[in-house]
Structure 1
Amino acid sequence: MEAVAIATSLPISTKQSVEICSFIRGKTTEKSRKLLEQVMEQKIAIPYRRFNKGVGHKKGKIASGRYPLKATSAILKLIGTAEANAEVKGMSAPFQISEVIASQSSRNWHYGRQRRRKTKRTHIKMILKSLEKKAKEKPKTEAKKVETKKTETKEVTKK
Protein backbone atom coordinates (compact mmCIF):
# COMPACT_ATOMS: atom_id res chain seq x y z
CA MET A 1 0.00 0.00 0.00
CA GLU A 2 1.25 3.47 -0.83
CA ALA A 3 0.53 6.99 0.34
CA VAL A 4 1.08 9.91 -2.04
CA ALA A 5 1.63 13.59 -1.29
CA ILE A 6 2.04 16.18 -4.04
CA ALA A 7 3.03 19.83 -3.65
CA THR A 8 2.62 21.98 -6.74
CA SER A 9 4.10 25.35 -7.67
CA LEU A 10 6.23 25.78 -4.57
CA PRO A 11 8.32 29.00 -4.66
CA ILE A 12 11.60 27.14 -4.08
CA SER A 13 14.63 26.31 -6.20
CA THR A 14 14.31 23.20 -8.34
CA LYS A 15 18.03 22.45 -8.19
CA GLN A 16 18.08 22.60 -4.40
CA SER A 17 14.96 20.44 -4.26
CA VAL A 18 16.57 17.79 -6.49
CA GLU A 19 19.57 17.58 -4.16
CA ILE A 20 17.39 17.34 -1.04
CA CYS A 21 15.21 14.67 -2.65
CA SER A 22 18.21 12.54 -3.56
CA PHE A 23 19.45 12.99 0.04
CA ILE A 24 16.25 11.64 1.67
CA ARG A 25 15.21 9.04 -0.93
CA GLY A 26 15.08 5.53 0.52
CA LYS A 27 15.23 6.66 4.15
CA THR A 28 12.47 6.40 6.73
CA THR A 29 10.38 9.48 7.45
CA GLU A 30 11.67 9.68 11.03
CA LYS A 31 15.30 9.61 9.95
CA SER A 32 14.80 12.06 7.09
CA ARG A 33 12.89 14.45 9.36
CA LYS A 34 15.73 14.41 11.92
CA LEU A 35 18.32 15.00 9.20
CA LEU A 36 16.38 17.89 7.66
CA GLU A 37 15.89 19.50 11.08
CA GLN A 38 19.67 19.37 11.54
CA VAL A 39 20.02 21.05 8.15
CA MET A 40 17.65 23.80 9.34
CA GLU A 41 19.93 24.30 12.37
CA GLN A 42 22.92 24.26 9.97
CA LYS A 43 24.59 21.37 11.76
CA ILE A 44 24.85 19.11 8.70
CA ALA A 45 24.91 20.08 5.04
CA ILE A 46 22.98 18.64 2.11
CA PRO A 47 25.52 16.99 -0.21
CA TYR A 48 25.44 18.54 -3.67
CA ARG A 49 26.32 15.84 -6.18
CA ARG A 50 24.67 17.03 -9.38
CA PHE A 51 24.51 20.83 -9.20
CA ASN A 52 27.85 21.48 -7.49
CA LYS A 53 29.64 24.08 -9.62
CA GLY A 54 31.32 26.55 -7.29
CA VAL A 55 29.99 24.91 -4.13
CA GLY A 56 32.52 24.74 -1.32
CA HIS A 57 33.43 21.65 0.67
CA LYS A 58 31.86 21.05 4.08
CA LYS A 59 32.74 19.10 7.19
CA GLY A 60 32.05 15.42 7.36
CA LYS A 61 32.02 12.70 4.76
CA ILE A 62 30.57 14.88 2.00
CA ALA A 63 32.59 16.86 -0.48
CA SER A 64 30.50 19.85 -1.53
CA GLY A 65 27.28 20.92 0.14
CA ARG A 66 25.00 23.73 1.25
CA TYR A 67 22.21 24.53 3.70
CA PRO A 68 19.10 25.20 1.54
CA LEU A 69 16.77 26.42 4.30
CA LYS A 70 13.71 27.49 2.28
CA ALA A 71 13.52 24.28 0.25
CA THR A 72 14.20 22.16 3.35
CA SER A 73 11.29 23.70 5.26
CA ALA A 74 8.94 23.07 2.32
CA ILE A 75 10.00 19.41 2.08
CA LEU A 76 9.60 18.97 5.85
CA LYS A 77 5.98 20.11 5.52
CA LEU A 78 5.48 17.68 2.64
CA ILE A 79 6.80 14.80 4.77
CA GLY A 80 4.22 15.65 7.43
CA THR A 81 1.47 15.71 4.81
CA ALA A 82 2.54 12.36 3.39
CA GLU A 83 2.58 10.78 6.87
CA ALA A 84 -0.92 12.11 7.54
CA ASN A 85 -2.14 10.68 4.23
CA ALA A 86 -0.62 7.32 5.13
CA GLU A 87 -2.35 7.26 8.52
CA VAL A 88 -5.70 8.11 6.91
CA LYS A 89 -5.23 5.17 4.55
CA GLY A 90 -4.69 2.91 7.55
CA MET A 91 -1.01 2.20 6.99
CA SER A 92 1.14 1.43 10.00
CA ALA A 93 4.30 3.32 10.89
CA PRO A 94 7.29 3.35 10.19
CA PHE A 95 7.17 4.68 6.65
CA GLN A 96 9.87 4.61 3.99
CA ILE A 97 10.20 7.28 1.33
CA SER A 98 10.19 5.08 -1.75
CA GLU A 99 9.93 7.87 -4.32
CA VAL A 100 10.46 11.59 -4.07
CA ILE A 101 10.66 13.57 -7.30
CA ALA A 102 11.31 17.28 -7.78
CA SER A 103 10.43 18.71 -11.18
CA GLN A 104 10.34 22.18 -12.64
CA SER A 105 7.01 23.97 -12.80
CA SER A 106 5.85 26.79 -15.04
CA ARG A 107 7.76 30.01 -14.53
CA ASN A 108 5.63 33.12 -14.18
CA TRP A 109 6.80 36.71 -14.45
CA HIS A 110 7.57 38.55 -11.23
CA TYR A 111 4.86 40.97 -10.19
CA GLY A 112 5.61 44.69 -10.23
CA ARG A 113 8.23 46.89 -11.83
CA GLN A 114 10.91 44.22 -11.95
CA ARG A 115 10.81 43.10 -15.56
CA ARG A 116 12.77 40.34 -17.29
CA ARG A 117 12.65 38.08 -14.23
CA LYS A 118 10.67 34.95 -13.70
CA THR A 119 9.72 33.21 -10.49
CA LYS A 120 11.09 29.91 -9.23
CA ARG A 121 8.48 27.19 -9.10
CA THR A 122 8.83 23.50 -8.28
CA HIS A 123 6.54 20.46 -8.13
CA ILE A 124 7.40 17.74 -5.60
CA LYS A 125 5.82 14.29 -5.49
CA MET A 126 6.44 11.94 -2.55
CA ILE A 127 5.37 8.30 -2.23
CA LEU A 128 5.58 6.48 1.11
CA LYS A 129 5.52 2.74 1.74
CA SER A 130 4.94 0.98 5.03
CA LEU A 131 7.90 -0.89 6.52
CA GLU A 132 6.19 -3.88 8.05
CA LYS A 133 8.59 -6.52 9.17
CA LYS A 134 7.16 -9.76 7.95
CA ALA A 135 8.18 -12.81 9.90
CA LYS A 136 9.39 -15.32 7.39
CA GLU A 137 8.29 -18.77 8.40
CA LYS A 138 10.60 -21.48 7.27
CA PRO A 139 8.68 -24.38 5.83
CA LYS A 140 9.27 -27.53 7.79
CA THR A 141 10.81 -30.05 5.48
CA GLU A 142 10.97 -33.62 6.54
CA ALA A 143 13.99 -35.55 5.53
CA LYS A 144 12.79 -38.13 3.09
CA LYS A 145 14.81 -41.21 2.56
CA VAL A 146 14.98 -41.95 -1.07
CA GLU A 147 16.03 -45.40 -2.05
CA THR A 148 18.14 -45.43 -5.09
CA LYS A 149 18.47 -48.45 -7.24
CA LYS A 150 21.89 -49.35 -8.31
CA THR A 151 22.14 -49.79 -12.01
CA GLU A 152 24.35 -52.46 -13.29
CA THR A 153 26.47 -51.67 -16.23
CA LYS A 154 26.73 -54.29 -18.84
CA GLU A 155 29.69 -54.50 -21.04
CA VAL A 156 28.86 -54.85 -24.66
CA THR A 157 31.51 -56.33 -26.81
CA LYS A 158 31.55 -55.87 -30.51
CA LYS A 159 32.49 -58.79 -32.71
Structure 2
Amino acid sequence: MAIHLVGLALLMGVIISIYLPMITQTAKILGSGPMANIPFFAIALVSSIVIAIASGSRTEQFQKVATLPLWLLTAGVMSAGMIIGSSFLIPRIGIGAFFVLLVSGQVLAGMVFGYFGLFGVPASALTVGKVLGALLVIAGVYLVTFK
Protein backbone atom coordinates (compact mmCIF):
# COMPACT_ATOMS: atom_id res chain seq x y z
CA MET A 1 0.00 0.00 0.00
CA ALA A 2 1.36 3.40 -0.99
CA ILE A 3 2.49 5.58 1.92
CA HIS A 4 0.63 8.64 0.60
CA LEU A 5 -2.64 6.67 0.71
CA VAL A 6 -1.94 5.61 4.30
CA GLY A 7 -1.23 9.24 5.15
CA LEU A 8 -4.46 10.40 3.51
CA ALA A 9 -6.49 7.79 5.42
CA LEU A 10 -4.84 8.87 8.68
CA LEU A 11 -5.60 12.51 7.87
CA MET A 12 -9.24 11.59 7.28
CA GLY A 13 -9.28 9.95 10.71
CA VAL A 14 -7.94 13.17 12.21
CA ILE A 15 -10.61 15.19 10.41
CA ILE A 16 -13.37 12.93 11.75
CA SER A 17 -11.86 13.35 15.21
CA ILE A 18 -12.17 17.12 14.81
CA TYR A 19 -15.50 17.53 13.06
CA LEU A 20 -17.60 15.20 15.22
CA PRO A 21 -16.79 17.14 18.42
CA MET A 22 -17.46 20.35 16.47
CA ILE A 23 -20.92 19.03 15.58
CA THR A 24 -21.38 18.06 19.23
CA GLN A 25 -20.64 21.66 20.25
CA THR A 26 -23.07 22.90 17.60
CA ALA A 27 -25.75 20.61 19.05
CA LYS A 28 -25.00 21.92 22.53
CA ILE A 29 -25.30 25.54 21.39
CA LEU A 30 -28.50 24.89 19.44
CA GLY A 31 -29.91 22.54 22.07
CA SER A 32 -30.60 19.80 19.51
CA GLY A 33 -28.63 17.10 17.70
CA PRO A 34 -30.97 17.11 14.70
CA MET A 35 -30.71 20.90 14.46
CA ALA A 36 -26.90 20.63 14.44
CA ASN A 37 -27.24 18.64 11.22
CA ILE A 38 -28.91 21.47 9.33
CA PRO A 39 -25.99 23.90 9.00
CA PHE A 40 -23.56 20.95 8.64
CA PHE A 41 -25.41 19.39 5.71
CA ALA A 42 -26.19 22.74 4.09
CA ILE A 43 -22.50 23.65 4.01
CA ALA A 44 -21.55 20.11 2.96
CA LEU A 45 -24.02 20.26 0.05
CA VAL A 46 -22.78 23.64 -1.18
CA SER A 47 -19.14 22.58 -0.76
CA SER A 48 -19.72 19.34 -2.66
CA ILE A 49 -21.39 21.15 -5.55
CA VAL A 50 -18.60 23.74 -5.74
CA ILE A 51 -15.88 21.04 -5.66
CA ALA A 52 -17.69 18.97 -8.31
CA ILE A 53 -18.06 21.94 -10.65
CA ALA A 54 -14.53 23.22 -10.01
CA SER A 55 -13.04 19.81 -10.83
CA GLY A 56 -14.53 19.73 -14.33
CA SER A 57 -17.73 19.71 -16.36
CA ARG A 58 -20.24 17.59 -14.44
CA THR A 59 -23.48 17.97 -16.43
CA GLU A 60 -23.65 14.25 -17.22
CA GLN A 61 -22.90 13.20 -13.64
CA PHE A 62 -25.45 15.64 -12.19
CA GLN A 63 -28.08 14.13 -14.52
CA LYS A 64 -27.21 10.61 -13.29
CA VAL A 65 -28.01 11.55 -9.69
CA ALA A 66 -31.71 11.04 -10.44
CA THR A 67 -30.99 7.45 -11.54
CA LEU A 68 -29.35 6.34 -8.30
CA PRO A 69 -31.08 3.40 -6.59
CA LEU A 70 -32.99 4.55 -3.52
CA TRP A 71 -31.11 2.14 -1.25
CA LEU A 72 -27.87 4.02 -2.00
CA LEU A 73 -29.48 7.26 -0.90
CA THR A 74 -29.98 5.80 2.57
CA ALA A 75 -26.31 6.69 3.12
CA GLY A 76 -27.57 10.25 3.69
CA VAL A 77 -29.87 8.99 6.45
CA MET A 78 -26.96 7.04 7.92
CA SER A 79 -24.80 10.16 7.84
CA ALA A 80 -27.46 12.15 9.65
CA GLY A 81 -27.72 9.35 12.21
CA MET A 82 -23.95 9.39 12.68
CA ILE A 83 -23.95 13.11 13.38
CA ILE A 84 -26.93 12.97 15.73
CA GLY A 85 -25.51 9.88 17.44
CA SER A 86 -22.11 11.46 17.96
CA SER A 87 -23.62 14.64 19.39
CA PHE A 88 -25.59 12.45 21.81
CA LEU A 89 -22.83 9.99 22.76
CA ILE A 90 -19.66 12.09 23.00
CA PRO A 91 -20.86 14.15 26.01
CA ARG A 92 -22.08 10.96 27.72
CA ILE A 93 -19.31 8.40 27.15
CA GLY A 94 -16.38 10.65 26.29
CA ILE A 95 -14.55 11.19 23.05
CA GLY A 96 -11.93 8.47 23.63
CA ALA A 97 -14.44 5.69 24.24
CA PHE A 98 -16.62 6.97 21.40
CA PHE A 99 -13.83 6.83 18.83
CA VAL A 100 -12.53 3.46 20.00
CA LEU A 101 -16.03 2.01 19.70
CA LEU A 102 -16.61 3.75 16.36
CA VAL A 103 -13.40 2.43 14.82
CA SER A 104 -13.98 -1.02 16.31
CA GLY A 105 -17.39 -1.18 14.69
CA GLN A 106 -15.79 -0.20 11.38
CA VAL A 107 -13.08 -2.86 11.69
CA LEU A 108 -15.54 -5.63 12.56
CA ALA A 109 -18.06 -4.60 9.90
CA GLY A 110 -15.25 -4.28 7.36
CA MET A 111 -14.20 -7.85 8.07
CA VAL A 112 -17.76 -9.11 7.54
CA PHE A 113 -18.32 -7.00 4.42
CA GLY A 114 -14.98 -8.11 3.02
CA TYR A 115 -15.59 -11.79 3.75
CA PHE A 116 -19.00 -11.81 2.06
CA GLY A 117 -18.13 -9.22 -0.60
CA LEU A 118 -21.01 -6.97 0.44
CA PHE A 119 -21.72 -3.49 -0.92
CA GLY A 120 -19.51 -3.99 -3.97
CA VAL A 121 -16.25 -4.60 -2.10
CA PRO A 122 -14.09 -7.49 -3.25
CA ALA A 123 -14.46 -10.64 -1.17
CA SER A 124 -11.44 -11.49 0.96
CA ALA A 125 -10.63 -14.57 2.97
CA LEU A 126 -10.86 -14.55 6.74
CA THR A 127 -7.34 -15.26 8.00
CA VAL A 128 -5.91 -16.06 11.40
CA GLY A 129 -4.23 -12.64 11.36
CA LYS A 130 -7.54 -10.87 10.74
CA VAL A 131 -9.27 -12.80 13.52
CA LEU A 132 -6.41 -12.06 15.93
CA GLY A 133 -6.55 -8.41 14.90
CA ALA A 134 -10.29 -8.33 15.60
CA LEU A 135 -9.71 -9.89 19.02
CA LEU A 136 -7.07 -7.24 19.78
CA VAL A 137 -9.54 -4.54 18.72
CA ILE A 138 -12.14 -5.99 21.10
CA ALA A 139 -9.53 -6.13 23.90
CA GLY A 140 -8.64 -2.49 23.16
CA VAL A 141 -12.29 -1.49 23.36
CA TYR A 142 -12.51 -3.12 26.77
CA LEU A 143 -9.36 -1.43 28.05
CA VAL A 144 -10.27 2.04 26.79
CA THR A 145 -13.99 1.92 27.50
CA PHE A 146 -14.19 0.05 30.79
CA LYS A 147 -10.66 0.78 32.14
Structure 1 length-normalised TM:
0.28
Larger Rg: 1
Higher RCO, 1 vs 2 (CA within 8 Å, ≥6 residues apart): 1
Structure 2 length-normalised TM:
0.30
More strand by share: 1
More helix by share: 2
